[in-house]
Amino acid sequence: MEGEKFTQEGLNLLQGFKDFCTNVIFENIPRIIIALIILFVGWKLIKVLTNFLHKIFTKKNIDNSLQSFLHSLISIALKTLLVITVADMIGIQMTSFIAILGAAGLAVGMALQGTLQNFAGGVIILILKPYRVGDFIDQGGVSGTVTEIQIFNTVLTTLDNKVIIVPNTQLATNTLVNYTRSGKRRVDIPVGIAYGANIDEARRVLLEYAQTIETIYKEGAEAPVVVCTGLGASSVDLELRVWSDSALYAANHSKLTQGVYETLGAHNIDIPFNQLQVHINKD
């Protein structure tokens, strides 16, 4: 009797599985196929649409920072809507799904707290514009050129071509240095001359050299100056200060550093270096 009971239960399970395949899976195969086709085509159309919008933004001269942010936001929103639509076509009850999401909203919000803060940080960056795409910035020891502002992160490229992903909230809520915003920067070249050297002569020589550099400002408040900054342990400390376009800062800094060294040497003005004297007691 027990064997017949188990056999009957097995047959019932098999029949239930057969009914499920017949009534649920096979009947919904056309709907599933159509939904997958719509998902594939829709995904491609979203890509085409976002690329088209990018061209429009570029043609209308919309700020590059806003372009990358809107591109990312629109793409995510459309893809999310597409997935919800396809799920509804397959037969997933989105009303119940949304209700579940609402009930779990608090937990999800806590879990995504950092992500939501980064989104808010991105909005703040786009409104206040502390930096834009193309600016060279430094924050917390991380520096590079801004190549993209996304909805959650900002992408930087360093001088040695490394890519750094920085959360937007970090850039929106902390002290940030923007080296590009003003359009020009002061290039400071410190140099020490020996005690006993003629400071006025050194200043004259350095200013004459600065006038030969074509890529720096030479008039008005931005004209080159040489100041005495201190009396060091082994040198009188001077500093050549010139103004340059921000984009030429690195090149001018390197050129001026080498030029100052060569110019002082050519005029027999010593640049001292630290020396250590050792006295030996023969006793």
Domain boundaries in the chain?
A: 2-103, 120-178, 184-266
Q: Report d(CA 234, CA 197) in Å as an integer.
A: 12
The pLDDT value given to residue 169: 87
For residue 234, the model assigns a pLDDT of 85
Query: Which residues of the chain are modeled with pLDDT < 70?
Result: 1-29, 60-67, 90-114, 275-277, 279, 283
Contacts of 176 (CB under 8 A, 6+ apart): 130, 131, 137, 138, 139
From the options 2.70.240.10, 1.20.58.410, 3.40.50.800, 2.30.30.60, give the CATH code of 120-178.
Answer: 2.30.30.60
| Domain formed by 184-266, architecture | 2-Layer Sandwich (3.30)
**pLDDT at residue 86, as a whole number:** 76
235 within 8 A of 192, measured Cβ to Cβ: yes
pLDDT in tens, 243-258: 999 889 989 999 999 9
Query: By the 8 A CB rule, do 134 and 146 touch?
Result: yes
Question: Against a cut of 0.75, is the pTM above it?
Answer: no
pLDDT of residue 14: 62
Q: What is the CATH number of domain 2-103?
A: 1.10.287.1260
Given the structure tokens 């979203």, which residue do they identify? 46
